[in-house]
């Protein structure tokens, strides 16, 4: 039996630059900044007082009030992104429930709920802890609740690989479809980590930018010489993946084809990438091999691009390792320059952005690339949006613990 081709028929995005796919994409093309003073929690005494929040988002626009109260914000965002993706796709989940699965990555789950309930536990005693605490904070509940709401009864998995969680969910869903275990998959990533504990913890690990609290416009600056850490953010991205045969049978809109997925481990350090970015390079090579294409076929790379000194340097080196002399000719940009680092949602949001880039044959720039870093000397598109012919595009995600994930999408053609 031939391996099925897999296509994308829906994209949903909830990001700090827009509630919804079109709003987010337009904002990215316009180079809008999504980083601002934190409003979700009290932040005056925190090391970083700025973040990327999904402003204007109301859970009750997507859920009834009772259900919303029994879910953490990371689930709210996943539900909203999924609703948008399903609407675009037109996929009738109940009609084929056993053949449709759900895989949603999440890095830290309902940490906001957990923090709130710890306060209840210590202040009022164990008898006052909410009976909904566990199903609100465990990270699989985005996949679980989406499955319950949509009726999808196929494979249901939550991937947890730190900042690569969303990308690994998409890659795993792609493999599920290719081996014939489902006809369609609801997949992506979500995280809502803008909490007091998260900010304090990431700052303590020296991964977070803490020096530009008074200048949020210029705080996230991937590949810039003066970068000093990432900006914490929240968000969600959902893709609807289907076998080509299934999508064509129902006349679905085909946005792009997914053709490659590679994953690897650095086996090096809990927070630092491996020397010279060799782990990320291996993930890209695996993805290229599965796609059956040459490095020279790639027309765009959506970089992990966190704005941390080591990540951006070693990601640059990994691209040079894989693409050789062609590396300097490939346009590369970092969505995190505008939305910040959405943790487990990052790979899914950026996969959605990559698909929009293929559809429009246009890419967004890397904001705040002001002072060139001689060690990050590739084409990071510093001057706004650019029209680019894209046949194949790569989306990279790299996570704490040494997780590397690379996805490849292709402009669809019969």
CATH number of the domain residue 346 falls in: 3.40.47.10
Same domain, 57 and 180: yes
Token pair 């827009």 is found at 18
End-to-end CA distance of the chain: give it in Å, rounded: 19
- Position 268 scores a pLDDT of 76
Residue 255 is assigned to a structural domain of this protein: no
DSSP code, position 127: G
Report the relative pairing of strands 362-363 and 50-52 from DSSP bridges.
Answer: unpaired
Domain match, 17 and 53 both: yes
Write down the pLDDT at residue 274: 74
Q: Say what the pLDDT of residue 136 is.
A: 96
Asked if residue 322 and residue 197 are part of one domain, the reply reads no
Q: Would you state the pLDDT for residue 11?
A: 98
Query: Which of 218, 249, 280 marks a domain boundary?
Result: 249
Please check whether residue 254 lies inside any domain of the structure: no
> Which of residues 249, 269, 287 is at a domain's end?
249
- Does residue 216 fall inside a structural domain? yes
**Cβ–Cβ under 8 Å, residues 396 and 284:** yes
Tell me: do 126 and 27 sit in the same domain.
yes
Choosing from 249, 282, 308, the residue where a domain stops is: 249
Same domain, 123 and 14: yes
Tell me: do 240 and 284 sit in the same domain. Answer: no
Q: Positive or negative CA dihedral for 80, 81, 86, 89?
A: positive
* pLDDT in the model for residue 328: 95
Q: Is residue 364 annotated as part of the catalytic site, yes or no?
A: no
Residue 79 forms part of a structural domain: yes
Q: How many domains does the chain have?
A: 2
Could you tell me if 60 and 156 lie in one domain?
Answer: yes
Shared-domain flag, residues 230 and 86:
yes
So what's the pLDDT on residue 273? 74
Active site residue 106: no
pLDDT in the model for residue 1: 66
Q: Are 57 and 14 in contact (CB under 8 A)?
A: yes
Tell me, yes or no, whether 110 lies in a domain.
yes
pTM of the prediction?
0.97
> So what's the pLDDT on residue 271?
66
Q: Are 218 and 131 in contact (CB under 8 A)?
A: no
Go through 28-52 and write b for each residue having 16 or more CB atoms within 10 A of its CB, e for each that does not: bbebbbbbbebebeebeebebbbbb
Instruction: Give me the catalytic one of 163, 246, 376, 403.
Output: 163
Domain carrying residue 366: 261-410
In this prediction, the residues of the chain whose per-residue pLDDT falls under 70 are 1, 271
User: 341 an active-site residue?
Assistant: yes
Both 134 and 170 in one domain: the answer is yes
User: Which residue is catalytic, options 76, 102, 106, 341?
Assistant: 341
Q: Annotated catalytic residue: which of 102, 106, 246, 304?
A: 304
């Amino acid at each position: 039996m031939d391996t099925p081709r897999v296509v994308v028929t829906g994209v949903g995005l909830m990001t700090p630059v827009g509630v919804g796919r079109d709003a987010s994409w337009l904002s990215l093309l316009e180079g809008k900044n999504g980083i601002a003073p934190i409003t979700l929690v009290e932040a005056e005494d925190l090391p970083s007082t700025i973040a990327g929040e999904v402003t204007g988002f109301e859970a009750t626009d997507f859920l009834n009030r009772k259900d919303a109260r029994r879910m953490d914000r990371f689930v709210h965002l996943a539900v909203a992104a999924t609703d948008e993706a399903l609407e675009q796709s037109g996929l009738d989940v109940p009609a084929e429930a056993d053949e449709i699965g759900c895989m949603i990555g999440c890095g830290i789950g309902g940490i906001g709920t957990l923090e709130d309930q710890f306060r209840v536990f210590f202040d009022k005693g164990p008898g006052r802890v909410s009976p909904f605490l566990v199903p609100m904070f465990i990270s699989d509940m985005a996949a679980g609740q989406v499955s319950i709401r949509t009726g999808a009864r196929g494979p249901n998995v939550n991937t947890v690989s730190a900042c690569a969680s969303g990308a690994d969910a998409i890659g795993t869903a792609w493999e599920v479809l290719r081996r014939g275990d489902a006809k369609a998959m609801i997949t992506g990533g979500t995280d809502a980590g803008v909490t007091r504990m998260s900010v304090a913890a990431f700052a303590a690990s020296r991964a977070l930018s803490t020096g530009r609290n008074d200048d949020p416009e210029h705080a996230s600056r991937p590949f810039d010489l003066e970068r000093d850490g990432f900006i914490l953010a929240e968000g969600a991205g959902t893709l609807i993946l289907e076998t080509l045969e299934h999508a064509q049978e129902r006349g679905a809109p085909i946005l792009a084809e997914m053709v490659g997925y590679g994953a690897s481990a650095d086996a090096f350090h809990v927070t630092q990438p491996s020397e010279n970015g060799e782990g990320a390079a291996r993930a890209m090579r695996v993805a290229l091999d599965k796609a059956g294409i040459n490095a020279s076929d790639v027309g765009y790379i959506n970089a992990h691009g966190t704005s941390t000194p080591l990540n951006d340097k070693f990601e640059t080196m990994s691209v040079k390792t894989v693409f050789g002399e062609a590396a300097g000719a490939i346009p590369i940009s970092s969505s995190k320059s505008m939305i910040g680092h959405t943790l487990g949602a990052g790979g899914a949001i950026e996969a959605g952005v990559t698909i929009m880039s293929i559809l429009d044959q246009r890419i967004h720039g890397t904001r705040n690339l002001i002072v060139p870093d001689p060690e990050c000397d590739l084409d990071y598109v510093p001057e706004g949006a650019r029209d680019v012919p894209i046949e194949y595009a790569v989306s990279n995600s790299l996570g704490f613990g040494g997780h590397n994930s690379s996805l490849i999408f292709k402009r669809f053609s019969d």
